[in-house]
Amino acid sequence: MNLELFIPELIIAGTALAVILLDLFLRRRTWLTVVSIAGIATAFGFTVAMWGGEPQAIWNGMLAVDSFALFFKVLLLFIAALVILASVDYASRFPRFHGEYQALVLLATLGMMLMAAATDLITIFISLELTAISFYVLVGFLRDSRSTEASLKFVLLGGVASAVLLFGMALTFGFTGQTQLTEIARVIGGLSPEGMTVIPGLVLGMVLMMAGFGFKIAAVPFQMWAPDVYEGAPTPITLFLSVASKAAGFAVILRVFFTAFGLPELLSQNWGMTFAVLSALGMILGNATALVQSNIKRMLAYSSIAHSGYIMIGLAIVGLSAASSQVGQSSLLFYVAAFVLADLAAFIAIIAISRRLNSDLIKDYAGMGKRSPLLALVLTLGLISLAGLPPTIGFIAKFYIFSEAVSNGLLWLVIIAVINSVVAAYYYFRVIRVMWLGEPATDDRVPVSPVMKLVLAVSSLGILAFGIAPAFLMGLARAAAGI
């Protein structure tokens, strides 16, 4: 059974249970954070220790332990640790529910780790639902009108998306008789191109799965939930949903479509072109709508939709150019890591600022450079990286994925992406201008706790370090892609 390969997931599950039980007896909630971080750090250590080993399958082939899964597990555990640390001050808004909050964050992390490793349709759906249910509760955690409305919308639309995804999986199983991705690929690979047209139900199943997964990553045209949910959720959960859920969603999409639907080449080219079109639509709609937003969380929600479009360029490369599939995967993985670091820095600064201002309106950020230069600097750095400007990791990520797209015949998509990057720079710099050139409403300083300073420093250093010297992270992405 190779249970030792499942230790990171067992540690996270055990930590979530321990936090719930300790919350019944401990009065100092600080210890819950200590236990959560200790559990995440231990799981992180075991995950890193597995790196470089031979790919293995566990639980009768339902989960994979390979470099691809380990790359995303490391990334997800890193995100979870920063989210919990960034929530230390914010959690004063729900003082009675610290234990439940941190346990749900851990359970969502567990679900996303399983998503990255899942190689069977059944495991994929179970891990998706574990993640989704945790997020449904976390989004409504403030229990005010906006948070409750956001949670309700998320539950209703998420339920529809899950039903669509499950119907697609059922069709795929019905026409192949298999749930394991490699076995599905074996059955499909034995069909002639003419045979694919004889069973359009299989193609319909693939399309429905694409729609269900598209909801999870807030890709156009399945993005309708993102702005309201991002605005209404607690800001640390907006951060968690924006980066972790998107990373795990792309991990499962890449594994499903590359492994199960990679052959015949005609099939992969069809879904590759579909992702290319969705990529263009996502970039255009996301950036155009972000231009007119006055709420910074809604602006970053539409920015996240646009970045889903950028990341889908990697999916298009994988589908359209079988010879460069691994290069396409590595560019996608590197871009996901870059987006995670940039969005972490931006949202962590927003958590500290919005808690003090009790507002998410961009105009209220006026003069923040004078009131808290540290927070304004970190937010500026995150926005510059999201815009894809040097010397940040965002510039390297866009250069990498754009150059690979051009090399694989997607020049038209890169032109659209470059134009949209210019549009995005406008609304990012609008926030920067307000912070540094606007006049503050008051001279009161915005305090930053030592824990927040640590989290801000980690995310900022990651943006600059991997922007100036990206070789290490790029090497990890290439190894995860099997290059």
Domain residue ranges of the chain, discontinuous segments joined by +: 264-483
What are the Cα distances from residue 164, in Å, to 151, 212, 323, 371, 467?
Answer: 20, 6, 32, 48, 39
Q: Can you give the pTM of this predicted structure?
A: 0.93
pLDDT of the residue at 377: 93
Judge whether 379 and 446 are in contact, CB under 8 Å. Answer: no
Residues in the chain predicted with pLDDT less than 50, given as ranges, are none
Q: Which of 290, 243, 222 is nearest to 86 (CA)?
A: 243
pLDDT of the residue at 313: 93
Which helix (DSSP H) or strand (DSSP E) does residue 56 occupy?
strand 56-58
What are the Cα distances from residue 474, in Å, to 70, 107, 193, 324, 461?
Answer: 15, 29, 36, 16, 16
pLDDT of the residue at 438: 82
pLDDT of the residue at 439: 82
pLDDT of the residue at 1: 56
Judge whether 125 and 131 are in contact, CB under 8 Å. Answer: no
pLDDT of the residue at 381: 94
